[in-house]
Structure 1
Amino acid sequence: MTTASRRELLVGSGLAALGATLPGDAIAARPDPLRPDLFIGTGGHGHTYPGPTLPFGMVQLGPDTDNTRWDSCSGYHQGDGSIMGFSHTHLSGTGIGDMLDVLVVPTRGPLELQAGVLGKPDEGYRQRFSEELAEPGYYRVRLESGVLAELTVTERTGLHRYTFPQGPGHLLIDFAHAVVDTWDKGTLVEQASLTLSPDGMLTGSRRVNRWAKGRHIHFAMQLSRRPDRVQFFSEDQSQPAGANTVTGKRLKAALFFDNAGAAPVLVKTGISAVDLAGARQALSTEAPGWTFDATRRTAARTWAQALDCIRVEGGTPAQRTIMASALYHALLSPTLFTDVDGRYVGLDRQVHKAAAGTPAYSTYSLWDTYRALHPLLTLVRPEMAERFARDLVRQTQESPTGPPVWPLQGVETACMIGWHAVSVMAEACAKGIKADYAAAWPQIRRRAFDRDFPDIDSTLGRGFYYDLGFIPADKVWESVSRTQEYAYDDWAMAVLADAAGAREDAATLRKRSLNYRNVISQEVGFARPRFADGSWWTPYDPIQLGHNPEKQRDYTEANGWQATFLNQHDVYGLIELFGGDAAFERKLDALFTAPSTLPRNAPPDISGLVGQYAHGNEPDQHAAYLYAYAGAPWKTQAMVRRLLTEMYKADPDGVIGNDDCGQTSAWFILSSLGFYPVDPVSGVYVFGSPLFDAAELDLGGRKLRIRTTGNGPDAPYIQSVQWNGQPWTRGWISHADLAKGGELVFAMGTRPSRFGAAKADRPPSYGRGPA
């Protein structure tokens, strides 16, 4: 990938421009479809997986290489060298592991019941592999036993085709397989059962206590050929011959074929979080026959249509591959959670039935995805944005703790801080996406004001927040970040209060959303822990994680540098705290040029450092765009281009940190198009530096065309902009404008310009422009 040096980006290099100017009608011939590389993000700390699924599908089928370490949160890590088997559920890009349900191990030779450890691939049932191929909706690999494994999917079923060499072989169904919980010593799997029915269908149910404590998974599995014999195991003890059911905690079933190579063995598995009837119905409805190749073609067509929402021209081949892969990862979650008949498990742990056309979803990584993924979907998948808004309204009503935090498989994990479902709902509401937001308001209001409303880990310290205007570091952990993020949720809740007609509540929440200022110390110029008596942590060190990092942190996956720029909704207020535009610009410069040192106990999430800016984690992924508010948009443009070209690669280690259910990918997509939602709730996008010569977006029927002139690796600076043929002086554009469709043209250059620098042209924030 071609990249420019930091000096070239910041001051211009005078190199010959490499990007050719497009003629005005060139975009009329649509750019070529994007072709993703599903292995991008499977190395490094990206935590993605290469197995097949459908856009937002329930089943995520794929290979598992490890289930014991942080870098295998998705069950797969490129370079592990051996495969344990193929399970039906995975998480993409998360920083905590779970799922990996219903592992199928096709192999030959003596039966092994244990996978063996990663470093010893000749022990246990794990196998080396070769000839690995991954495409949207299809995965293939050859295992060292000689078995050719192929996988494809429908929304709720996984289809396998195993071609064995001649001679005996077997399938092991490891129903004890899961992400190993090394920090929680509780029982991982309980209430498990396996049953083989007279028609040859294998069914199973279990309860899992990993991240989503107490989630249920049910499956129904059919084979195209009857095995010659079946053997059940409980706690690795063989059950009596002829047994057709087994219960326990660690259950497995071995299906033996005397001549496995006589014909391919096809396996189809339906899953449900509700019950076995739901799993069976998934099979009968979505996979009634044995049409592996037809299902694969359908999955490929589904993905081709989904990925066709964005096409680009220009850039390097690697950048186009990164774009395609980022879009693929941005369409993986949230994941479908309703059975064929509409039933699902709510956050109250009860079974509900969704109305037709309003399915329920799971896997909302909201602390991450409210920032860029959900804003992206409001543009290119508005129908899905509406589904998610309606689903979050419903989940807010059903949840005992109100607006969701990190719901996974019918369980509120309460992971991270804040309750950012309100941001996704408020953004959708502000953008005119229809949902019954007023129906969610009673539960949202309880979270906003009711001291007796049950607190969970993500909402601790609200009483201090109400009374003191901040959360004291000597009372609650991660106090600084909590204060800031609770303030942003106040900002979002104000929009929802207005939608419910609660005008006084809205005014109170908007005023309270300024509480973030109470942890910005003007004395030292940083977000700084303070204590219940009002005093500040001293001596202050912005590199450290807090006042007593050995016991607790005062920031969430950040330090003082990164947390200082966490504010998204009141940028001009933050600028005032720092003494005005010039001082704030200098502070941003210092963020990007400070030594990239971290404390020895810093979490691995703080990665992708440029100075103290950490692109590999979410808290300040908007920070490069803040220059535009201080009248230095050319610095936004230079830094955004640098991040686009340095933080993403077209190889397995191509995502600088966890992809976090598509958030880091969505940052690339939006930024490479030329704009980014610093404050999603505002419905405003700030211009950055478009990477490609041309792009076309399908906005749900309308077309948005983006074109650049004079673009190239050494030309990151916007010289001027046109919108629908007319000059556009603002350094930002609204969602309402973009959603109508039209043509946005950026004239680019090698030198900074004053485009967007005038106060009248700077982005609005907190409902106003700069003072």
Structure 2
Amino acid sequence: MLTRRTLLGGTAGLALLGGSGVPMGLARATEGEDLTRWVDPFIGTGGHGHTYPGATVPFGMVQVSPDTDNGRWDSCSGYHDDDRTLMGFSHTHLSGTGVGDLLDVLVVPRVGPVVLQPGSLEKPEGGYRARFDHADQQASPGYYRVRLKDSGIVAELTATARAGLHRYDFPKGGDDAHLLIDFHHGMQDKPGVPTRVTDATLRLVGDDTLVGGRRVHQWADGRHIYFALKLSRPYTRAQLYSDDQPVAGNQVAGTVLKCALHYPDADKAPLLVKVGLSAVDIDGALRNLQADIPGWDFDRVRGAARDAWQAELSRVRIEADSAADRRIFYTALYHSFVAPTLFSDVDGRYRGMDDAIHQMPAGRQTYSTYSLWDTYRALHPLFTLAQPERVPDLVDSLVRMAVESPAGPPVWPLQGRETGCMIGWHSAVVLAEAQAKGFKGIDYKAAWPVFRKRAFEDTVLGMGEYRRLGYIPSDTVDEAVSKTLEYAYDDWAMAHLAAGAGAKDDARALVERSRNYRNVFDRDLGFVRARDGAGKWIEPFDPRAMGHMKKWRDFTETNAWQATFLNQHDLYGYMALFGGPEAFERKLDELFTTSSEMPADAPPDIAGLVGQYAHGNEPSHHVAYLYAYTGAHHKTQARVRMLLRTMHQDQPDGLAGNEDCGQMSAWYLMSALGLYAVDPVTPLYVFGAPLFQRAEVAVGAGRRLVIEAPGNGPDSPYIQSVTWNGAAHTKSWISHASLAMGGRLTFHMGPKPDPLFGAAAADRPPSFTPLGAAGGF
């Protein structure tokens, strides 16, 4: 079986180009089938996937999950499959990110003396860490269970939208049973560097409730988190700690705060713990808890979580050939519906990016956790097809952030704070896509002044140089080549927002500026590359290198090979720089077939290599579909089918790179359906190579999109012809508007490529065209 690590070595997958596929087989999923049984939350918890196995509901505020580590890169989610001890169970986790944060309100069930430090992965002895065997774990959507090896405690977790519920079975005769709540625990920058916490408080209420709040200064610097914890029966004794010293009374303020709740009779019945969260205040956490879990029926809450996942997973039903294919597909769908995460309380209040408390109108929600540099590419296009009812809230949340944030357009917003992570402001792409696809309930006009300021006035992040020179010079700004290319694409997106707002002159200026990619393209070498402030190409140049100097890089998690194919919106203008479509096609071939050798300073994000194509990182995700624009669509079919089969597996190390809040999975899902949005701002999907015999997608308002692929099989990855609602369809793409109305898309598949399919200029996907609701330029 191929794993991500075997693929890092290079071009092994190329042997599959002519004959990979999926055998014909099983009947499609029935209406009553339990689709949650095909989800394996452990997929992505190994390698560099950075996912967590714990309990959450679709797009839920709470993710209650085990924390095995909080100080290394591969534990960004708080969990890694390699680990064999865990610290406890916290309530907020990131799914597949490349930077860690959260891990709030750690609950540690224990027997024996109170221990206030966890110990380390290397030396867990003497700390409150607990050993566990992977065979003693179980996870499914909305549920997690583990038996702790030393104490014999069985822990079970489930969740609602705004609360987590624990059930602990303590062994008979356990001495000094207690729960430790470590309110200082959280993600660390590296092992041994304490989580940066300020303004923390804990308060005991009666004999069954603990509440608290704190401000955390990690990746999301200065975020607020409040909680309310209730117990199914009173504790006999409680002890608060500050700086690991006992504190008298029922409340404490400080930074390093903990609490031990003692249960000498813990073995007499299961002990349940429910925890509500809020970013607003303790009262919000209490209201969220009462609204979501008013009682103590663990199995009812678990069943409701499972039902919520069943409803979301039922949006897409596939006919697959094997259990492994179903596990990969439905786990990908599960991971795609984990984030963004709910951020408004049950009463509609939320904490804005301005740190003020705002009120949502009735019936609306606001969200957080947007990994936009990643997710604009496939996750948000997936939402427009399979989550259309949720799109207005998801996108309007970005508008509110833009208006409220001192930092301007959202880049990577997390729990009311702007992390500023990655480059560009691809919230513009998500807004422009929704506008082009006609989604209502989004205040596009309110967003435009914020984006206009970034486009025409701001000098931060290299924007001054970008406007003055038409590119960003690599001798003064880090990652300048990638920034130039991504700013150009954001210009394209902002042009559509401008047109939608009636700012026609701005729109025309931004369309022209979106072609700034030309200013970092070396026609002689056929690569994008660094140039200095005087306009000279910077030497030395190596297309595999990260940059021209050790001080900083010229590219963002890419090299010149990968960045040369970043263009998503002006493909025909770009091809002319190479000498035309045929020359561009040859360059694509070279990308996939050249050596996969990388320099020693390459970041681990550049993974899943096929030649210099890097499937483990998002900038490459659209590249296999670029053959369609050259007229060689059969090469897109072959490449996509190979990537589907080799880059996604049903095992912990089953992802080629970070999951990145659903983008890695969304690429798989869209590609498995035979569709991909190369330029999400232009509302169309380029065909790929559908993986399954049949799929049904609920596209809203009771409409269904049926995608069929007769003749599909392990040796039949090639499209012979396409029909749409029974009529011949010769184009290698289809509009979003067509698919959103529902219908039947049929790919007739075969074992040999048809070089004529999609080859005519009229059948190739349009590019650099003002499509959609923006009204033209």
TM-score, normalized by the shorter chain, greater than 0.5: yes
Q: Distance in 1 between matches of 2:13 and 2:409?
A: 42
Cα displacement (A) at 1:79 = 2.5
Q: Check conservation: 2:29, 2:318, Cα contact below 8 A.
A: no
Task: Work out whether 1:295 is the aligned partner of 2:296.
Answer: no
Q: Distance in 1 between matches of 2:592 and 2:736?
A: 29
Is there any run of 5+ residues in structure 1 with no aligned partner, and where? Answer: none
1:358/1:525 CA distance change after superposition, 3 Å: same
Q: How well do the aligned residues superpose, as a CA RMSD in angstroms?
A: 1.9
Q: Distance in 1 between matches of 2:650 and 2:194?
A: 40
- Alignment partner, residue 188 of structure 1: 196
1:36/1:481 CA distance change after superposition, 3 Å: same
Q: Check conservation: 2:17, 2:641, Cα contact below 8 A.
A: no
Amino acid paired to 2:476:
K
- Alignment partner, residue 212 of structure 2: 204
- Alignment partner, residue 758 of structure 1: 760
- Alignment partner, residue 744 of structure 1: 745
Task: Work out whether 1:411 is the aligned partner of 2:412.
Answer: no
Q: Distance in 1 between matches of 2:724 and 2:34?
A: 25
Amino acid paired to 1:176:
H
1:116/1:12 CA distance change after superposition, 3 Å: closer
- Equivalent position SS for 1:441: helix
Cα displacement (A) at 1:9 = 4.1
Q: Distance in 2 between matches of 1:191 and 1:219?
A: 14
Cα displacement (A) at 1:27 = 6.8
Cα displacement (A) at 1:540 = 1.3
Q: Distance in 1 between matches of 2:207 and 2:113?
A: 27
Q: Distance in 2 between matches of 1:225 and 1:40?
A: 36
Q: Distance in 1 between matches of 2:126 and 2:198?
A: 27
Q: Distance in 2 between matches of 1:97 and 1:81?
A: 20
1:557/1:767 CA distance change after superposition, 3 Å: same
Q: Deviations over 1:565-613 (max 9, x none)?
A: 0110011111111101111111001110111111111111110000001
Q: Distance in 2 between matches of 1:571 and 1:433?
A: 26
Cα displacement (A) at 1:714 = 1.6
1:633/1:421 CA distance change after superposition, 3 Å: same
Q: Distance in 2 between matches of 1:567 and 1:466?
A: 19
Query: Which of the residues 139, 142, 145 maps onto 2:147?
Result: 142
Task: Work out whether 1:337 is the aligned partner of 2:337.
Answer: no
Q: Check conservation: 2:28, 2:317, Cα contact below 8 A.
A: no
Amino acid paired to 1:391:
S
Q: Distance in 2 between matches of 1:451 and 1:351?
A: 27
Task: Work out whether 1:264 is the aligned partner of 2:270.
Answer: yes
Amino acid paired to 2:546:
L
Q: Check conservation: 1:213, 1:413, Cα contact below 8 A.
A: yes
Task: Work out whether 1:619 is the aligned partner of 2:625.
Answer: no
- Alignment partner, residue 251 of structure 2: 245
- Equivalent position SS for 2:145: strand
Q: Check conservation: 2:17, 2:642, Cα contact below 8 A.
A: no
Q: Deviations over 1:415-443 (max 9, x none)?
A: 10001101000000000011120111111
Task: Work out whether 1:368 is the aligned partner of 2:374.
Answer: yes
Q: Distance in 2 between matches of 1:184 and 1:403?
A: 34
- Alignment partner, residue 103 of structure 1: 106
1:258/1:392 CA distance change after superposition, 3 Å: same
Cα displacement (A) at 1:190 = 1.1
- Equivalent position SS for 1:619: helix
For 1:707-726, what aligned pairs fall within 5 Å after superposition? 707-726=708-727
Amino acid paired to 2:397:
D
- Alignment partner, residue 398 of structure 1: 404
Cα displacement (A) at 1:393 = 1.5
- Equivalent position SS for 1:71: helix
Q: Distance in 2 between matches of 1:214 and 1:328?
A: 30
Q: Distance in 2 between matches of 1:760 and 1:21?
A: 36
Provide the aligned length of Structure 1 versus Structure 2.
Answer: 754
Q: Distance in 2 between matches of 1:163 and 1:11?
A: 54
Cα displacement (A) at 1:520 = 1.1
Query: Which of the residues 440, 443, 453 maps onto 1:446?
Result: 453
Q: Distance in 2 between matches of 1:103 and 1:581?
A: 56
Q: Check conservation: 1:31, 1:312, Cα contact below 8 A.
A: no
For 1:79-158, what aligned pairs fall within 5 Å after superposition? 79-130=82-133, 131-144=136-149, 145-158=151-164
Q: Check conservation: 1:322, 1:649, Cα contact below 8 A.
A: yes
TM-score of the superposed pair, with normalisation by structure 1:
0.95
Cα displacement (A) at 1:699 = 0.7
- Equivalent position SS for 1:296: helix
For 1:154-233, what aligned pairs fall within 5 Å after superposition? 154-167=160-173, 168=175, 169-182=177-190, 188-233=196-241
Q: Check conservation: 2:698, 2:705, Cα contact below 8 A.
A: yes
Cα displacement (A) at 1:523 = 1.4
1:676/1:156 CA distance change after superposition, 3 Å: same
Task: Work out whether 1:602 is the aligned partner of 2:582.
Answer: no
- Alignment partner, residue 536 of structure 1: 537
Q: Distance in 1 between matches of 2:424 and 2:332?
A: 26
- Equivalent position SS for 1:429: helix
Q: Check conservation: 2:207, 2:235, Cα contact below 8 A.
A: no
- Equivalent position SS for 1:682: coil
1:191/1:577 CA distance change after superposition, 3 Å: same
Q: Distance in 1 between matches of 2:469 and 2:504?
A: 24
Cα displacement (A) at 1:19 = 3.6
Amino acid paired to 2:763:
D
TM-score of the superposed pair, with normalisation by structure 2:
0.94
Cα displacement (A) at 1:18 = 7.2
Cα displacement (A) at 1:358 = 2.0
Cα displacement (A) at 1:6 = 4.7
Q: Distance in 2 between matches of 1:12 and 1:77?
A: 34
Task: Work out whether 1:678 is the aligned partner of 2:678.
Answer: yes
Q: Distance in 1 between matches of 2:621 and 2:14?
A: 21
- Alignment partner, residue 7 of structure 2: none
Greater shift in the superposed pair: 559-568 or 128-137: 128-137
Q: Deviations over 1:674-710 (max 9, x none)?
A: 0100000001111110111110111122100011111
Q: What fraction of aligned residue pairs are identical, expressed as a percent?
A: 59
Amino acid paired to 1:758:
A
Q: Check conservation: 2:200, 2:212, Cα contact below 8 A.
A: yes
Is there any run of 5+ residues in structure 2 with no aligned partner, and where? Answer: 4-10, 772-777
Q: Check conservation: 1:152, 1:295, Cα contact below 8 A.
A: yes
Q: Check conservation: 1:32, 1:313, Cα contact below 8 A.
A: no
Amino acid paired to 2:297:
T
Q: Distance in 1 between matches of 2:435 and 2:399?
A: 11
Q: Check conservation: 1:358, 1:391, Cα contact below 8 A.
A: no
Q: Distance in 2 between matches of 1:483 and 1:341?
A: 43
Q: Distance in 2 between matches of 1:390 and 1:57?
A: 18
Cα displacement (A) at 1:187 = 6.9
- Equivalent position SS for 2:709: strand
Greater shift in the superposed pair: 708-717 or 373-382: 708-717
1:55/1:489 CA distance change after superposition, 3 Å: same
1:400/1:623 CA distance change after superposition, 3 Å: same
